[in-house]
Structures are given as C-alpha cells and as structure tokens.
C-alpha cells in the first residue's frame, strides 16, 4: 500500500481528513481550512443520493415550534451565519446561492397552541393571517383551510448552488485536497494518536478525522466497530413549471410544501421513506406530491413536472445531530445525523465541530449533541 504524498505533514499544520462531501463535510472542511489546517476531503462526488444535493433549501425546521431546543440553537446560529457565507461565496466564487427571505406560510399547522408561546420565547415573528390577507399574498391558493400562520423571517436558498460554490471555494485554499471517488477500506488509530485511512488507492496518515458521511456514517464507523443511531430516510421532490402561478413564499400544509424558485419553477416536497437508502424515483411519489401541490394551488394541475429526484436524509433521534468526539477515539470526530434540517443547521454545525477540535469556546452548548450510548 503506497503512502499518499499529500499525507506528508506541511510543517506543523494539523492535517485533518473530512469524510463526506455533502453540505456538512464541505462546510466542516471550510471551517478547518480557515483555522489553518491541512484538509483532505474524501467524498463520492455530487449526486449518488446525497441529501444536500436533493434538498429544498428551506432555512428553517418545518415546524420550528416543535423542534428540539438543540436543533433550534444550531438553526438560529446558522441563520445568523448564512448571510456572511453567502457574501463570501459570491465574492470568492461568483456564485449566487440565491439566499432569499420570502417567509413561510403554514396552513392548519400542527400543535397550534404552542406557536405563540414559542414565538414569544424565541422572539420569532409569527403573523396569524385572515383568509383575505392570505389571498392577497398568494391569490391562487386554495381557500379550504382553517388557520394560517406566516413566519416572515424564514429564508431559503438554492441547495445545488450552495454545494457548487462551496466546492469551488475549498479549491482556493492551498492546503486543501479532494479525493473522489474513494472507497474507504480501513481506519486505524496509531498509539501516537494519528489516524491511518486506507482507501482503494492509497493510505493516508492524518492527525484527526471528522466523519460527515450523512446517512452512510455507520458504514464508516463500522470499520471501527462503532455505531450511531442514524438511519437512512429517503425523500423525493418534484420541480414543477411555475407558468401562470404566482407564489411569493414557501407554503406548507399537511407536511407537504411548495417552494418558489428564482427561475420561476416550483419545488414540491417531500416524501418520508424511512429505512430506504436507494435513489429510485417512483410514480407513487410523483402522484402524492403532485396531488399535494394541486391541493394547495389547484391551478398547478396543468403544470408539467420538469424533474423528479430523491435524496437520502441522515435520520437521527428527534432530528438532533451528533457533533463531537467519538467515545474511545481521541482523534475521531463526528458531524452527522442532521435529518430534515441539515441545510439550515450546517454553518453552525461545522463551526461547532471546528471549535471543539481547536478547543475554542463553543458558539452553542455542545452537550446535547454528544452521543450517550
């Protein structure tokens, strides 16, 4: 087995391998590069069921009032970090990730009695809209609903653009290297604390490893006989032609949503297929999603499906990700299990793991993200 020349340490630079090239891996790599580390990113390339690529790009939990406090903490922190990241990516790569604050309108939201107390506690604005106000906002919306709650602060972005911009941004750092595709065969920890990663082609010696492999995290951890309660949860989406339909914000009813895109298309999401990790698109999902879209805006019945796709979410207990050192492995870290909120929690999650690795004061309390077996 040859030893990769890149694995030779650059002076005293901390060499960290990040495994996984979804949004969590890319942002973790960026945070580590900004802390002067040498980073080798092991990935499998875009597509391949990656959740990040498939995501709707809503920068909020669907029902933020029901989210765990630890999810809310990473979401709030990330909401604060996103505008700066968006500017950085535009300036450095010329890519606009289409970060837009259009708001989110919930029709007949679950657990309504908690919404106002949550809004008061967390100082989030929620407007209860009457039927007429809703019609003014979205004239073609079906009027068969009881209550409407509008969250004006909710933003969205174009996930694919975020991924492409991040991949470009990383290439601008001299101590960054990407390895795609790579099949990891073995992970070993040396008595010195260094980690050896053996892939198909080479053996990498690094100081630390961060596993950010989303729904596939346990495949990596199984090489160390370790496991986290992360399960694959497939999700399918549709992109509809938006012709003739004006949609000014995200709309949700019965956990199915419509997202307006800057190019005029309308995203419809999403299915929840627990335990499934394939990326087949099905007619059944197309039927369910199209029906949900028509239920919200009847005029969409004649609009064509431009595209359908699937991604695999890293499902975790209560949607709380695992962020921190893997017990028993001083040089191995995990940043995975973001389930339905990986895009909206990504900047905070990446910064948190980088802060922990560098013994910096953490931006949020790290305790809730520790895995207690």
Ligand X SMILES: Cc1cc2nc3c(=O)[nH]c(=O)nc-3n(C[C@H](O)[C@H](O)[C@H](O)COP(=O)(O)OP(=O)(O)OC[C@H]3O[C@@H](n4cnc5c(N)ncnc54)[C@H](O)[C@@H]3O)c2cc1C
**Residues at the contact surface with ligand X, assessed by CB under 6 A:** 19-25, 42-44, 48, 50-52, 54-58, 182, 184, 212-216, 219-220, 235, 237, 269-270, 311, 313-314, 336, 338-344
Closer Cβ to ligand X, 339 or 369, answer by number: 339
Q: Give the strand pairing for 203-206 and 127-129.
A: unpaired
CB of 244 to ligand X, least distance (A): 25
Any idea which residue has 């891996």 for tokens?
A: 25
Ranges assigned E (strand) in 183-321: 184-189, 195-199, 203-206, 208-211, 231-240, 250-253, 256-260, 266-269, 273-274, 305-315
- Work out how close the CB of 143 gets to ligand X at its nearest, in angstroms, rounded to a whole number: 26
In order of 247, 248, 309, the CA distances from 104 in angstroms are: 11, 9, 23
Q: How far is CA 327 from the centre of its chain?
A: 24
Cβ distance to ligand X smaller for residue 44 or 149: 44
Q: Which lies closer to ligand X via its Cβ, residue 164 or residue 299?
A: 164
| Cα gap 187→194, rounded to integer Å | 11
Compute the least distance from the CB of residue 50 to ligand X, in Å. 4
Helix (H, G, I), strand (E, B) or coil at 331: coil
Based on CB atoms, which residue is closest to ligand X, 245 or 268? 268
Shortest Å, Cβ 305 to ligand X = 15
Element (H, E) at 115: helix 112-122
Contacts of 194 (CB under 8 A, 6+ apart): 205, 206, 207, 331
Angle at 43 between CA 80 and CA 203, to 5 degrees: 125
The least CB distance from residue 200 to ligand X, in Å, is 11
Tell me whether residue 120 or residue 122 sits nearer to ligand X (CB atom). Answer: 122
CB nearer to ligand X: give 214 or 324.
214
* Among the listed residues 291, 232, 253, the one whose alpha carbon sits nearest the alpha carbon of residue 49: 232
Please report how close the Cβ of residue 316 comes to ligand X at its closest, in angstroms.
9
Smallest gap from Cβ 113 to ligand X, in A, equals 25
Kindly tell me which of 157 and 300 has the beta carbon lying closer to ligand X: 157
């Amino acid at each position: 087995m040859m030893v990769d020349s890149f694995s030779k340490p650059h002076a005293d630079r901390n060499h960290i391998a990040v495994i996984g090239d979804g949004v969590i891996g890319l942002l973790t790599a960026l945070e580590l590069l900004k802390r002067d580390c040498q980073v080798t990113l092991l990935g499998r390339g875009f597509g391949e069921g990656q959740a990040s690529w498939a995501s709707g790009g809503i920068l909020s939990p669907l029902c933020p009032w029901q989210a765990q406090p630890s999810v809310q903490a990473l979401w709030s922190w990330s909401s604060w970090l996103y505008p700066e990241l968006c500017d950085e990516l535009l300036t450095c790569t010329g890519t606009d990730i289409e970060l837009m604050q259009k708001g989110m309108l919930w029709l007949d939201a679950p657990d309504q009695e908690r919404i106002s107390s949550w809004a008061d506690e967390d100082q989030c604005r929620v407007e209860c809209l009457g039927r007429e106000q809703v019609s003014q906002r979205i004239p073609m919306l079906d009027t068969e609903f009881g209550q409407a709650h509008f969250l004006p602060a909710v933003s969205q972005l174009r996930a694919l653009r975020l991924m492409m911009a991040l991949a470009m941004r990383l290439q601008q750092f001299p101590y960054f290297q990407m390895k795609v595709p790579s099949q990891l065969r073995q992970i070993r920890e040396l008595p010195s604390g260094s980690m050896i990663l053996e892939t198909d082609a080479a053996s990498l010696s690094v100081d630390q490893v961060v596993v950010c492999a989303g729904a596939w995290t346990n495949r990596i951890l199984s090489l160390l006989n370790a496991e986290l309660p992360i399960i694959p949860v497939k999700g399918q989406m549709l992109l509809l032609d938006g012709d003739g339909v004006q949609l000014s914000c995200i709309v949700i009813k019965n956990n199915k949503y419509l997202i307006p895109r800057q190019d005029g298309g309308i995203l419809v999401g999403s299915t929840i297929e627990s335990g499934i990790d394939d990326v087949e698109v099905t007619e059944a999902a197309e039927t369910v999603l199209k029906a949900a879209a028509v239920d919200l805006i009847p005029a969409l019945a004649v609009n064509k499906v431009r595209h359908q796709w699937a991604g695999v979410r890293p499902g975790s207990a209560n949607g709380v990700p695992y962020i921190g050192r893997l017990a028993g492995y001083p040089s191995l870290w995990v940043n995975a299990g973001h389930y339905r909120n990986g895009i909206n929690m990504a900047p905070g999650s990446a910064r948190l793991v980088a802060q922990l690795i560098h013994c910096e004061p953490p931006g949020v309390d790290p305790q809730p993200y520790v895995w207690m077996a």
